[in-house]
Each structure stands twice: as C-alpha cells, then as structure tokens.
A and B are shown apart, each in its own frame.
Chain A
Amino acid sequence: MGGLLTTVDSIGGVLAGLSVQPDWIVTTSMMATIAHLSHRGPLRSHARVLRRGRNAVVTGLDVVDEGNDDLPVAAVTMTSAVLDPGAMSLEFVRPVRSPMPPPVPDPQTPEEFFNIEPGEGLLTRLHLADRLRNPWGILHGGAVATLVDVAACRAVAAVRDGADGDPRGGEPAVGLAAGDTVIHYLRPARVGPVEARCQVLGGRDGCTLVRVAVHDVGAADRLVDLASVAVLDV
C-alpha cells in the first residue's frame, strides 16, 4: 500500500501543481480506499482535479490493474495546499510526459528503500535520508505512507502476539496487509528520525483499525502526520 500511495502522491501532486502554476502545492491529506491487494500490473492511474480553490486543490485518482482487465485497485482523494514556490524551478513542457522506467532487476524492499528500521511493536522509526525529501526539502508524502503502512501492520502483529499487554493476544498468526488509509500531513518533517507511534483502536470481521501519530523526533518531537490504517487479515 505504501508503494502504491507513493505513486499516487506523485501523480496527484504533479496534476494539482500544474493546475495552480505559477504557484505549486504540498499534499495536506490523502484518503485512500483500496479495492484489491494483489496486482499483476502494470498499474494505471487516472487523476482529475475535483476542485481548484484559492488555497487548496482537491484531486481524485483511480488506479486500475492494466494486467488484470483494468480491475479497480484503489480510489484516492488528495487535498493539496497552494504555496508560493519561491526559488524552486518549476518549468514544464506541455504535455508533461515522464516515461515509465524499466523494472529494477533486484529491487530493495520498501523498508530498505525508505530507511525504515527493522523492528516490531507499536513504534516504528524511519531515518530521513536526503533522497527521501521532496522538492520542498521535506519528507516525501509517499515515504510517510510507507512508514504508516509498515508501522500499522507491525502494531497489529504485536497486539496479536500479546507483546504489548493486549488481552486479545495469543490469537493465531495470520498474514496482514494495510488497506484503506487516511493521512493528514500536518507539518513538514525536516530533521528526523521520524517515529510512527501506533494505537490499535479495535476492529471487526478481519479488519483492525490503527491510529498512527508520526513525530519528527529531531524537531522537538513535534507531531507531523496523523493517520489511520485499516489492517486486513489476508
């Protein structure tokens, strides 16, 4: 899910940014409903501007699986704040094209690529490398999405294992995958390390809701993102 939302954030962000030029945007929230968890690929996104206001742009994206008869993969609504780009270079040749790069023969795992520490439990940590920063110099929204995906699944696994004192511990282990996700990008994460602190709120019928508060530890531990993730038994 984190990888999917990284792509969505990039595509939706570029579309929203193009719609407000010469200004630019920063993502402030993302609401993602996930339809299918297994994909053949390639995936195709279709984005449209739903509302363009003075201070914000709302973008809707539909992702389908081209390799599986355009089966729906996700529907996402993004909101972006309009900002003065300052000295940032924002020149585009219309129509904007970005060819799909060839597959990477030996790809890293999302945890490796996004510098997420190995671990378990209710707290997951990401180290903020420069390659994870967006054009504004802050942690990319897709990296945040991947962090909350990994953190939420680890939190549910920990509760299931009884590692955190939850009375429901000891249930049989099942596979877990992040599904529907909401992320509010509240403040920029600039310093790091960045910690995702989880609270398992409960759930029903094979779906567990996790609240994830993301803090920039090196910036006075301030709250930078607030998310919820529906973790599915698979």
Chain B
Amino acid sequence: MTVGGYPPALHFLSDLGIEAHVGPGPVATARIRVTPHMTGRDGGVRAGVLATLVDVVGGAVAARVLRPDWMATADLTLEVVRPATGPFVEARATVVRRGRTTLVTEAGVFNVLDEGSEVTIGAEDHGPVAWATMTFAVLPGQSPTSTLDGHQELPDRWALAGEGLDRPVVEALSISVVDAAEGRISMPVQDYLFNSFGAVQGGVMALLGEVAGAEVLGESAGAEGDFVATDLRVAYLALGRVGPIVSRSRVLAAQDGHPHRSAVVELFDAAAGDRLTTVIDVGAVRVAAAATGAGS
C-alpha cells in the first residue's frame, strides 16, 4: 500500500520492499528482506540502503508525532558496526526530542529473522548492526511543496510491494562513475527516486555519497584494495530536483595509519545552477577487514 499515493508502485522504496509499523506511541519499525542486489563488498546491506531504511522509519514516526504538520530530513547519521546480512534488516526508531522547528529521532538497526527475533551468532554478534540519528525540519501541514495531505489518517502498518531490485542498486539508480580518482559520480533525476516533495529521496542522496566516497578512497589507497563505507554523516542543504546530481569528493586522509579512511563528498544539482544540495562525510574500512565483522 502507499500513503496518499506515495510512493508509486514503480519506485525505489517500493522495490526495496519496505514494511513498516508505527506506534503505539512515538516509535516505529521498518524492515527489508536482504537481497544480493542491495549488498556491498563486505556482504552486508550497503550503508546507503540502510540510510534509506532509517530515513523512512524516522520519517514514519516523525509524521505520526507531527501530524498535521509535515517534515523534511535536515541531517542523517549512520554508523555501521558490523555487516547487515539479514535475512531481514529491521530499523527501530524513537523520538528523542520534539521542538517547535525540529524533531530528532534515533534508530537502531538489527539483523532479524522472518518472525522478528534478532539474529545472534556467538557472543560477539549481538546488538545492533548500525545506529542512526535524524533531524527533521518541521514544515507547516499545508506545505505547498508536498504532495501529501497532513490531515489524512496515517496507517499503523504498511508495506511497499514493488517488483524488487532486478539488478544491483547502483545500476538500478543509473549511477555512473565519471572519475573515480576525483570521486566524481553522476545520477539522473527521475520519478523513481522522488520523495514526497518531488525531489530526490534523502536516502538516495546518502547512497550517492557512499558510492562517491568509496570510489575516491579506493583510488587513493591504490594497492591497498577496495573500501566499504561504514559511516555516513549527511547534511541536507537543498532539494535535488533537476539533475543530474553530480559529486565532488576529497580524501581527508588516513587516521595516522589506522585502517579507517574518510572522505567528504559534496552533491550538486548540475542543471539547477550547480547548486550545492548535500554534504556527506563518509567513513570507510578496507573490504578485507570489513568482511570479518569482528567485534570490538
């Protein structure tokens, strides 16, 4: 089902197959079935896909609390502590502060079985696979930019049933690497990616940051190998409406010989005056190290 017609059947969120449950109270859960097309080089769900999931679950609980007002994601942070391998990945969100102009949520992300219990393999593989926070800017209920009516009833449960991803998510979003050494990628804007404001969904912007960050870090490391993004810190500055969305990236350098690397990715709406839309700090680890999923 959809909420007020959003998202349509042919949509990225629908193809992820997100199921959500809101309430009772200021809590929400959302989950997806892990498929090979959404996983990264470490075998876990890509950080950008997890960001999309937590943005949806955070938005679901925010919409319930703020109704009839609406909201837009202002910032999102995601820290992955071990690969999200499923078989399902579930995000559980709560509201930590509701203010006049902003609402802050946090979410834990867990590997779960179909019946909902957490996957535990040994003493080291317990607890969340990731932790996230989101800040939402509160918008008036009659926002002229949103296609949604804030006064309509919001369902307690909903499931988005699309066709599913039939190819890797980066291909499905038509993301192309222009210059890996510069962390320059490009993605056309299409209805398939829109949020309720008719702009590129925030999770997709995070995914772009993940891809660009991993590319520039991998190129800078040379023979050290590929990197997988584990941390995303995203500041949403403006909507990406026209496209293509293009990136510029820079490596922040290694942390004094530490296996972690970081990069800063900026996303621009090329045909909208090259407007800066999003800044994403990306943390990453080498694939071989990440794949072990070793606990601390």
Q: Which of A's residues lie within 8 Å of B, judged by CB?
A: 28-29, 31, 33-38, 50-51, 55-56, 58, 60, 71-72, 74-75, 77, 79, 81, 156, 159, 167-168, 179-180, 182, 184, 186-187, 200-209, 211, 223, 226, 228, 230, 232-234
Interface centre among B79, B137, B253, by most chain A C-beta atoms within 10 angstroms, is: B79
Q: Is B242 an interface residue (CB 8 A)?
A: no
A186 touches B133 (CB 8 A): no
A58–B260 CA distance with the chains assembled, in angstroms: 26
B77 touches A223 (CB 8 A): no
A33 touches B233 (CB 8 A): yes
Closest B residue, CB atoms, query A76: B281
A107–B218 CA distance with the chains assembled, in angstroms: 41
B79 touches A230 (CB 8 A): yes
A186 touches B104 (CB 8 A): yes
Q: Using A206-B258, A230-B283, A232-B260 as known contacts, say yes or no to A79 and B296 having CB atoms under 8 A apart.
A: no
B135 touches A184 (CB 8 A): yes
B75 touches A31 (CB 8 A): yes
Q: Is B178 an interface residue (CB 8 A)?
A: no
A184–B290 CA distance with the chains assembled, in angstroms: 28
Q: Which of B's residues lie within 8 Å of A, judged by CB?
A: 74-75, 77, 79, 81-82, 96-97, 101-102, 104, 106, 123-124, 127-128, 131, 133, 135, 137, 230-231, 233, 235, 237-238, 252-256, 258-260, 262, 264, 276, 279, 281, 283, 285-286, 289-290, 292-296
Q: Using A28-B102, A180-B231 as known contacts, say yes or no to A51 and B253 having CB atoms under 8 A apart.
A: no
A37–B283 CA distance with the chains assembled, in angstroms: 15
A38 touches B123 (CB 8 A): no
Determine how close the nearest CB of chain A comes to the CB of B118; give it in whole angstroms: 13
A75 touches B133 (CB 8 A): no
A234 touches B104 (CB 8 A): no
B294 touches A211 (CB 8 A): no
Interface centre among A38, A50, A207, by most chain B C-beta atoms within 10 angstroms, is: A207
A200 touches B74 (CB 8 A): no
A99–B159 CA distance with the chains assembled, in angstroms: 58
Determine how close the nearest CB of chain A comes to the CB of B146; give it in whole angstroms: 17
B101 touches A204 (CB 8 A): no
A184–B134 CA distance with the chains assembled, in angstroms: 9
Interface centre among B128, B252, B255, B293, by most chain A C-beta atoms within 10 angstroms, is: B255
A156 touches B252 (CB 8 A): no
Q: B104 contacts which of A35, A60, A205, A226 (Cβ < 8 Å)?
A: A226
A35–B237 CA distance with the chains assembled, in angstroms: 23
